[in-house]
Every structure is written in C-alpha cells, then in structure tokens.
Amino acid sequence: SGNATITVLGKEYPTDDFTNLPNSIANLTSRKLHLQPSHPIGILRSLIESRLKDLGFTSYNDFKPVVSTYENFDALGFPEDHPGRSKTDTYYINEKTLLRTHTSAHESECFQTCETPGYLISADVYRRDTIDRTHYPAFHQMEGARVWSRTEHGDNLAKVIQEDLESIPDSGIIVSDPDPPFHEGNPRQPTMSELETELIGKHLKKTIELLMGHVFHQAREAAIKAGSTDPDLFSPIKARWIEAYFPWTSPSWEIEIWWKGEWLEMCGCGVVKHEVLSGAGVGDKIGWAFGIGLERTAMILFGVPDIRLFWSEDERFLSQFKPNTVSTFKPYSKYPGTFRDVAFWCDMAKEVHINDLMEVVRSIGGDLVENVSLIDEFVHPKTKQKSQCYRINYQSMDRSLTNAEINDLQDAVVSSLSTQFPI
Ligand code: PHE
C-alpha cells in the first residue's frame, strides 16, 4: 500500500517500512497530562517550575511530540548503531519521523531560540518497552538547561558562573559526591578550561540538588501525614552522585536519592557538548542540561503504586488531586488480578525482540495488562529448539474483570502471537 498514511494530532504522515506506531499509542499524544493543573504530572511540573523560576528558567510546555530523527538523535550525536534508534525501542511514524523518545529532542531548538539563559521543557515522550508497574509506553520528562555566553562575559566568564553558583539556595539534603576527576571515559571538553568545567558541573549539581530537595521534602511530609513511620523519613534526605554516559554531554552524571530502603536513579545530566551548541548556532556558549522522569518522581511524591493510574480517566483517581497540592493517593479498591501463561517455540533464525512481543500484548490488552514477565525458558536437548513461557498479569485499575473476558483477551493474544511470529 504505497500511499498509506497515519494521522497524529490531526496531521497526516506517509508511512513506510519503518512505521510501527499503533493508533492506540498515537492517540495518547492528545492527552497532555503535564498541562493539567489537577493531575499529579501537572502538579509536579509546576512544583519544579516554581522552584526554578526565580533562578531565571523559562518554561516551554507545548512542543509537539512528532520530531525528526535528526532532532531526536543526530543533533545530539547519537552514533548510527545506538540501540535507541532501533525500531524495537522507538515508535517510528516513518523513516525520518518519530515520536520523541526524550525531551532532549528539543535542546537544539531551545539553545537557538530561548532568550533567558535557562529553560525547562516538559513534554510527553514515547518508548517501546516492557510492561510492568513502572513502565508505560508514554511518559513525561522535564528537560532543564542553563548556558553562559563567552561573547557576553568575556574574561569574566568564570567569575560570573561562580557568582551564579553562590546564589543557588542550599538544598537541605545530604549529598555524597565523589567528584571523580574527569577521566577518559567521561572527559572534560577541550573547548572548556578545567575551572569552567568544574564550575559548570557544580552549578548543575547544586541546581538538581535544590530541585530534588524541594520535591523529596514534600514527598516526605506527605508520607508522614499519610501515617508512614519509616525511620528514614525522620532523618535528612540523602543523595549521591554517580557517573553516567550520554552522547551529547561530557562529563555526565546521575543523581540517586535514598528512598524507602533503596537508591533511586532520579535524573541524568551533564555538561553540554560543544558540538551540540555550535550545531545550534551558539558555539560561543557553554552550559549544562538535565532530564528528569516525571512519572517516576510523581509515583513517589503522590504514593501512586502503578504507572497506569496516571492515564486513568476514572473520577476516583482524578478527583483526589488539587492544583499546587501534594497529597497521598488513597487506593479506592484493589481489583483482583489474574494471570495466564503463554508458551511457544522460538524461531531460532529470527529471534523475537521482547519489546515486539510486549507490543502485541499491549495492542490487545491495553491498560488491562499489569505486567508481562518471562517465567521459563527451555532448550530441547535433542532438537536444540528453544521455548519460552511468559506470564501475563491481567488486572484493571477501575473494575473487576470476569474470567470470560480474560479468556477472550488471552485467546486473542495467543492467536496474534502465532500469526505475527510464526515458526
Ligand atoms: N534525555 C536523557 C534521558 O532520557 C536525560 C538527559 C537529559 C541526560 C539531558 C543528559 C542531559 O535519559
């Protein structure tokens, strides 16, 4: 079908061999949860925005989710063979057009056009992924960036960054920062001095600590108010920095926060590469960028146990939240779940990617699928054929499912799997 098209947000796009965007996912682009003042994602967005506003950050919240492969990958220096580019990981509209997989897709444009030295971008992003309590094919991120101009500050540049650094309020959290010396794997850029790199890294870390402190202090208050007696809630909030790698920043880091007995990775960040800034026409600037996942943070802040709830249109969920207010979600009911297993022989010549299998299950079960996990794998000793068994948990957020209904879904899953992945 040479002239097939797909419509996203009212616009038609030609399809091709790359097209793998189901309508069910395309339809999520109109939800814009981050713009709803009474939705946890919207509340969290404005909570962070209001904390950073007087530090000179402008917010952009209306970027469209359809972007080019250039914006999402090339402008950021993703290598040709980066797994993020793969059809198994990304929703393609066609070979050159996709649903953004991160808000970094808009960094270049913002570096080019944003008039304040700092900006925040909040938006919905899309990734093909596994199905469980913390993963959903659509979610939200907030990007932050801050730059300084060599043209504007000349020889004063380091002094200006130092002053800006000193003006960031204290976060009130305890941070351990090994501050690893910049090494081969995560080097300082040749276009920046050691002092500039150090000051920008510190400015970045202090800003993120401020933001995290703001969010986690509120999360802690809400948890205490809801009756939690976890002793960690009554001692200072702890964070630590670890090294990370992103194609468009160097050096790069990630912050981890101690919450309910484990270290949670909260936010990737780094010093923006010169190539990205010069590609955006502002090669005289230096600065940093970060990206934070809003669902992950909102699950902690509002005590939401399952990521699917954010997409619920049930009043029992939506009516619990008020603008500019952090409150703990009260489960209205735990509807029972049921599992069904599906086992099949794998085509050894053409292995099925787990995300493709997930997409089949999702396209049939939608939000009724809570979790899919590989529970058994078996290689036949003689034929060397491999079989896999997946367990699908069916559970609704809003109602009880009948056995007949689940059987119908499971039959549809099984028959779709056998037509899409024949052996
Ligand atoms: N875009 C990255 C992600 O999705 C996060 C990030 C943003 C990292 C900006 C560095 C700088 O994981």
Residue 256 confidence (pLDDT):
97
For the Cβ of 32 lying below 6 angstroms from any atom of ligand 1, the answer is no
Question: Is residue 173 a contact partner of residue 157, using CB atoms and an 8 Å limit?
Answer: no
Q: How far is the CA of 122 from the centre of ligand 1 (A)?
A: 13
For the Cβ of 101 lying below 6 angstroms from any atom of ligand 1, the answer is no
For the Cβ of 102 lying below 6 angstroms from any atom of ligand 1, the answer is yes
Q: How far apart are CA 216 and CA 305, in angstroms?
A: 17
Q: How far is the CA of 108 from the centre of ligand 1 (A)?
A: 13
Structural domains of the chain, with CATH: 31-65+100-318 (3.30.930.10), 338-420 (3.30.70.380)
The model carries a pTM of 0.94
For the Cβ of 157 lying below 6 angstroms from any atom of ligand 1, the answer is no
**Three-class SS of residue 37?**
coil
**Among 246, 249, 288, which is best to mutate for testing ligand 1, by the most ligand atoms less than 8 A from CB?**
246
Whether this model's ipTM surpasses 0.95 comes out as yes
- Within 131-261, strands assigned E span 138-149, 174-176, 238-246, 249-259
Residue 184 has pLDDT above 80, yes or no: no
For the Cβ of 249 lying below 6 angstroms from any atom of ligand 1, the answer is yes
**103-161 pLDDT tens trace:** 999 999 999 999 999 999 999 999 999 999 999 999 999 999 999 999 999 999 999 99
Residue 348 confidence (pLDDT):
74
For the Cβ of 269 lying below 6 angstroms from any atom of ligand 1, the answer is yes
Closest CA to 343 of 316, 378, 314, 311: 378
**Among 72, 78, 104, which is best to mutate for testing ligand 1, by the most ligand atoms less than 8 A from CB?**
104
What number is the average pLDDT over the span 319-344? 93
**Among 67, 102, 241, 277, which is best to mutate for testing ligand 1, by the most ligand atoms less than 8 A from CB?**
102
**265-279 pLDDT tens trace:** 999 999 999 999 999
Residue-averaged pLDDT of the chain: 94
Residue 365 confidence (pLDDT):
96
What number is the average pLDDT over the span 174-202? 87
Residue 167 has pLDDT above 80, yes or no: yes
pLDDT band at 181 (very low <50, low <70, confident <90, very high): low
